[in-house]
Structures are given as C-alpha cells and as structure tokens.
C-alpha cells in the first residue's frame, strides 16, 4: 500500500504472507506490521498532494497537516494492521526444512480471515 518511493530502483512489495513465503527456508522468530494503516494513509496523502500540485513540497506540507492520523495505528488490532500496513518485517533463523505451499493458507493472520 505504498506508492513508488525509490523511483527507478523500486522493484517490489511484499505482504506479511509474502514475506513468509519469501523466507520459507527459515523458521519464523517474529513477524508483523512495522507501521499501521494510518501511516499508509499518510503516504497516500503525500502522493496525492504531490500529484495535484506537481511538487514534493506540497506532499510534505499535506502530510505534516495530517500526522495525527498515525495515532490510530496504536488502536488498530494486529490482524487489521497486517492487512493495511505500509510495511512488514520478518525475523527468522535458517531451517532444516522448507515451508510447504499448502501451509501458507493456515499461516495468514490478517483480518480477511475474520
């Protein structure tokens, strides 16, 4: 849920489950949302203003005026944050076996399951 922010060097995005599959040769130690949906919303505000006014400064000013929406990140349950975050993380340790594709459905911890 992020706009391109590394210009020509911005190649991919991974969801929480996408990270798990990417690191399927690792045992998960910890994973989750690094930011919440409020932060993702701020990215959208920034890029909307940049597009409308065709300047990075407009995006910064618009975002500064809306920083308070990040307060909602603390109130968002993890399952909803995982589905709407602007970033996720995965910490793991090399495993002796790989995660199987059939296990990925059970791994999903987002709100879509509720």
pLDDT digits (tens, 9 = 90+) for 82-101: 999 888 999 999 999 999 99
pLDDT digits (tens, 9 = 90+) for 46-89: 999 999 999 999 999 999 999 999 999 999 999 999 999 888 99
User: Domain segments of the chain: what residues?
Assistant: 16-34+87-109, 36-86
Q: Collect all residues with Cβ–Cβ distance below 8 Å to 31 and sequence separation of at least 6.
A: 16, 19, 20, 88, 89, 90, 91
Is the model's pLDDT at 114 over the cut of 90?
no
The pTM of this model reads: 0.82
Identify which has the larger pLDDT, 12 or 33: 33
Helices (H), the chain: 16-22, 37-53, 56-64, 78-84, 104-107
């Amino acid at each position: 849920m992020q706009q391109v922010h590394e210009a020509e060097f911005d190649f991919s995005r991974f969801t929480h489950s996408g990270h798990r599959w990417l690191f399927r040769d690792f045992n998960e130690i910890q994973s989750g949302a690094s930011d919440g949906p409020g932060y993702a919303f701020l990215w959208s505000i920034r890029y909307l203003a940049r597009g409308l006014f065709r300047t990075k400064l407009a995006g910064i000013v618009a975002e500064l005026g809306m920083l308070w929406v990040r307060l909602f990140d603390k109130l968002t349950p993890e399952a909803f944050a995982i589905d709407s975050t602007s970033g996720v993380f995965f910490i793991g340790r090399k495993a002796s076996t790989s995660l199987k594709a059939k296990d990925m459905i059970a791994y999903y911890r987002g709100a879509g399951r509720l």
